[in-house]
Amino acid sequence: MTKISALRARNLNIPLDRVTSLSSRRVNERHYGVVELMGDDGHRGIGFCYVGSAGGGLFTEAVEGLLAPLLIGEDPYRVEGLWAAMYQEALLQGRAGTVLRAISALDNAIWDRNARAANLPLYKYLGAYTDRVPAYASGGYYIEGKTPAALAEEMASYVAAGYTAVKMKIGKLDVAAEEARIAAVRERIGPDIHLMLDANNAWSDLPTALRFARMYQKYDPYFIEEPFSPDDIGNHARLAAATSVPIATGEIEVGRWRFAELMARSGAIILQTDACVCGGITEFRRIAATAASLGITVLPHWFHDLHAHLVASTPNARYVEFFPDDQVLNFRRVVGTQIEVHQGHIEMSQRPGVGFDFNAAALDRYATAPWAQTGRASELAA
């Protein structure tokens, strides 16, 4: 029987080239966690997650001090059992946030290892639905000096590259200023391009959100994303009932139970479930299956290198969120083999597993500490 023989974790701090703003916060650096896991059959898997703009060391501690001892010596094909053991062990330390993100990274590494051992790309190991998935271009951030015309030019450049769907940030400015931004974009890209709007928890009360939603409505947005805090499911549901604009959320939501409540209360008709946040591929598949039974669409958040595989193996998933450069999703700087988009679509790679390994030199450049290792560390160092 194959056993997990070694595991190591590391946290990264990757500065942004330019300070970038969302509706309610500014970001000048991003902290990530990465893991590598080895079976005694010689096959390796990798996992990763975004921790936030600080606190990356929490990830390594969660892996090394809490979760790794549960995995060493275990059968990597016992995926459900290992997930349950990690979740149970972490009940007191964190059923959300960094600890669950560490579980997600480890779960994803196990799936990746198993797919590589089978010599299959991850999406085929999971059960392929398609070999070609549509991508939308994600951008439109607030940067000092960026005018509505410059924003419109950015969105138009994605359309010129072949994307039929684009996303921009909203919610930082007043209604008039926000309308100037979206009006410029819609005029520039035309009526047939799907225009997605990301509020990043911009509003805290329903009347304010309604003012903005009713203004946006005439520009035919594909959805408004995260209008409220993820915990405010009630206002998500009330806004969804009060506007014809589809509501999307779930990028920092966790676990099948929270997603079940969100769906039961009609808080969103588009889920942006992130397998690096929600509990890993194991939990993502449960959430997506429940959504499918209710006619709800899944558009995963971030990390297109992983989520392309999940969209390609999930019948009710529609788009991969794709970042055309490494300025915001700067994790791309440690990805050894980059996904390419042609005419708004990703042709799925046939390389085993997730289809890439970490760039070792980039990891060393951005790591804040050496690898934290458990098990036969020499196997991973080879």
Confidence category of residue 51, pLDDT binned at 50, 70, 90:
very high
Confidence category of residue 23, pLDDT binned at 50, 70, 90:
confident
What is the per-residue pLDDT for 315? 98
Active site residues: 169, 301
Spatial separation of the C-alpha atoms in residues 79 and 232, rounded to whole Å: 32
* Average pLDDT score over the chain: 96
DSSP 231-255: T-HHHHHHHHHH-SS-EEE-TT--H
What is the per-residue pLDDT for 155? 98
Average pLDDT of the residues in 173-185: 98
H/E stretch holding 15 reads strand 4-21
Confidence category of residue 381, pLDDT binned at 50, 70, 90:
low
Average pLDDT of the residues in 353-364: 98
What sign does the CA torsion over 373, 45, 251, 329 have?
A: positive
Q: Per the structure block, which two tokens stand in for 357?
A: 């390994």
